Amino acid sequence: MDVDTGLDDAIAIIMALRSPEIEIIGITTVSGNVTARAAALNTLGILRVMGKESKIPVLRGASRPLSKKIVHAEEVHGKKGLGNISLQCNPALLQKRDVYNFVSETLANYRKGEVALVATGPLTNIARVILEDPGITHSLSRICIMGGAFGLASKIYGNITPHAEFNFYCDPKAAQIVMTHASSGGVRRLNIVGLDVTDKYLTVDDEFISRLSNRQCKKRKKGGSKNSDKVPTIVKSLLRYPLTKFGKFDLPDVFAVAMLERPELFRFKRGKVDIIQSGISWGHSRFVRESHNINEHNKTFVATEVKSKKVFDSYVFSRLCK
């Protein structure tokens, strides 16, 4: 996973940890919601709560974007990225390796196509890896990205500005490198989910919190592991800050995990994605669907909808209440 661990990244990590079908073999962090170091410490804190702090390597990645601006989202995620809670961790556990070397060495230990990448922050780390070795991404089974806003499922094109989603706004140059690489056959498959989908199909409000506390959730936990009781508690603690401040909240990053674990829950369209890197539309993501003249080299698929909101909702709670 490649993350900028704020509130929704933290919950996405928890969901991946709770999946019986996903094994996290490493987590790299990037400057985004918070600094890359803060994201790394937040990640270690989440892993400690889940009993995995010493079992999953965490690396601090790029502290600056390839683009000229440095942007954070403290007003949304809190000063340190996890709202008003502070999780204990051991900073000495941060790996000293370079992200490219870590990815290269990790992939060398697995068969081609065994490893996937889930990215929930700006794409700086991934772009730098591609620039270092364009062929390395062929070893990945797929890349699942939360980023952009395409106006497909709903008429939403941004959150940090009316025209741009935060992750792509933070580093549009990196995002474009990744999109161009995918459209020219540099990956086996790239799945992207934008705000137009995530905002439509999952909203966190008081009812969401109540469901984490009700009997149904408690009933699910009876058959769970020793960490089962912790999950709803930590999730509620994380969400208390944005709900108090905004009244409701979104969890776009959990959709990236869902695209890996349950891709059948989504409908996709193949096409080309371009990112604006100048002017008032800085960070805007533009999707052009392939229709008649399909470019077989292009492996970019953008989510257009969730097939069943009810089924997706059940999937999310099966991970958070498990």
Q: Would you list the domain boundaries of the chain? A: 2-203+247-320
| pLDDT surpassing 70 at residue 226 | no
Query: If pLDDT is split at 50, 70 and 90, which confidence band does 117 have?
Result: very high
Q: Give the pLDDT confidence score for residue 244 in this predicted structure.
A: 94
Query: If pLDDT is split at 50, 70 and 90, which confidence band does 225 have?
Result: low
Choose which CATH entry (3.40.50.720, 3.90.245.10, 3.60.20.10, 1.10.3470.10) describes domain 2-203+247-320.
Answer: 3.90.245.10
Query: Which tokens in the block code for residue 141?
Result: 């089974």
Name every residue whose Cβ is closer than 8 Å to that of residue 207 and which is 6 or more positions away in sequence. Answer: none
| pLDDT surpassing 60 at residue 103 | yes
Q: Give the pLDDT confidence score for residue 158 in this predicted structure.
A: 94
Higher pLDDT, 256 or 218: 256
Kindly list the distances between the CA atom of residue 81 and the CA atoms of 41, 73, 142, in Å, as whole numbers in the listed order. 10, 8, 28
- What mean pLDDT do residues 13-17 have? 97
Longest alpha-carbon distance in the chain:
54
Higher pLDDT, 295 or 109: 109
| pLDDT surpassing 70 at residue 227 | no
Q: Are strands 300-306 and 266-275 parallel, antiparallel or unpaired?
A: antiparallel
* pTM across the whole model: 0.95
Query: If pLDDT is split at 50, 70 and 90, which confidence band does 160 have?
Result: very high
Q: Are strands 140-146 and 190-193 parallel, antiparallel or unpaired?
A: parallel
| pLDDT surpassing 60 at residue 224 | no
- What mean pLDDT do residues 3-17 have? 98
Query: If pLDDT is split at 50, 70 and 90, which confidence band does 187 have?
Result: very high
* CB-CB neighbours of 173 under 10 Å: 15
Q: Give the pLDDT confidence score for residue 215 in this predicted structure.
A: 52
Residue 288's φ and ψ, nearest 5 degrees, are: -120, 115
Per-residue pLDDT of 271-322, as tens digits, reads 999 999 999 999 999 999 887 667 788 899 999 999 999 999 999 999 998 6
Per-residue pLDDT of 25-36, as tens digits, reads 999 999 999 999
Mean pLDDT value across the chain: 93
